[in-house]
């Protein structure tokens, strides 16, 4: 599977607000690793400055890091 397909699948699994924030980047990340790094930075900043949350919040189970040895992505859940 090529890098562009992996990047597409990763963006589709992101929260809409996070995806929109990534679209505002200049220059836009050109690799999956770069895209994941920027998404993590935005997520970390949001969690740091959003204030205390009520109760336990689980991470989105649809989002997981794509490893190089994985060869398939099911883009249609």
Domain ranges of the chain: 3-48
The answer to whether residue 67 scores a pLDDT higher than 60 is: no
Using alpha carbons, select from 41, 23, 42, 31 the residue that is nearest to residue 66: 31
Using alpha carbons, select from 12, 44, 11 the residue that is nearest to residue 29: 11
The answer to whether residue 77 scores a pLDDT higher than 60 is: no
From CA 75, how far away is CA 12, in angstroms rounded?
Answer: 8
In the prediction, which pLDDT does 49 show?
A: 82
pTM above threshold 0.75: no
**pLDDT, tens only, 14-60:** 989 889 999 999 899 999 999 999 999 998 888 888 766 655 555 66
């Amino acid at each position: 599977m090529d890098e562009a397909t992996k990047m597409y699948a990763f963006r589709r699994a992101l929260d809409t607000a996070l995806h929109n924030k990534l679209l505002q980047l200049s220059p836009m990340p050109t690799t999956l690793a770069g895209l994941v790094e920027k998404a993590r930075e935005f997520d970390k900043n949001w969690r740091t400055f959003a204030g205390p949350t009520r109760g336990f919040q689980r991470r989105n189970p649809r989002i997981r890091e794509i490893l190089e040895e994985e060869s398939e992505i099911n883009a249609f859940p």
